[in-house]
Structure 1
Amino acid sequence: MKIKNHIILFLILLAVWLLLNSSFEIHILIVGVVVSLIITLVFCRNCNVFSEIKLTPKAFFYAIIYVFVFSGALIKSNFDVARRVVTP
């Protein structure tokens, strides 16, 4: 279980690194792997990434509902901001 947490943290850090750099050049990828590996080894002595999250059908169902509710609220807020910008 401990190695699984290290791998998950490493992959998350590497994904964030690649998103922030927005480039997949080999030297950026190598630096990202090295930095992610160092951070994982230094700061993840006894980390429990996602150890308390249980993926159940109920959780999946609520996640889908959340996406729709959030999308509706986001669209309404965008229209509200557009209305405030257009009207003086």
Structure 2
Amino acid sequence: MALSTGYGQRTQERGWRQYSGQPYRDLIALTEAAQARADLDTTRTAFADWSYSCYVANWAATSTDRFKTVVSAAGMWNLEALQADTDMRA
């Protein structure tokens, strides 16, 4: 997912300043790919995350009904504070 730190600088840059843009589109694309599998129960789709991705989780909770459950822990809310505190490059 765009902005994820575990996949290198390029992945972070794909989502830079798009907090509910490319990361959310990636989440929906991944969800659709998973739901296309016949061996998964699409009525029990959940999204849980920690830290930055909670912003996306909270956005998803209010923007789509694709998830039966959304868990958001230690999420950030203040984007201005993130800009001053992040280790991501602009």
Q: Say yes or no: TM over 0.5.
A: no
Structure with higher Rg: it is 1
Of Structure 1 and Structure 2, the greater helix share is in 1
Structure with more relative contact order (C-alpha pairs < 8 Å, separation 6 or more): 1
Of Structure 1 and Structure 2, the greater strand share is in 2
TM-score, normalised on structure 2? Answer: 0.28
TM-score, normalised on structure 1? Answer: 0.29
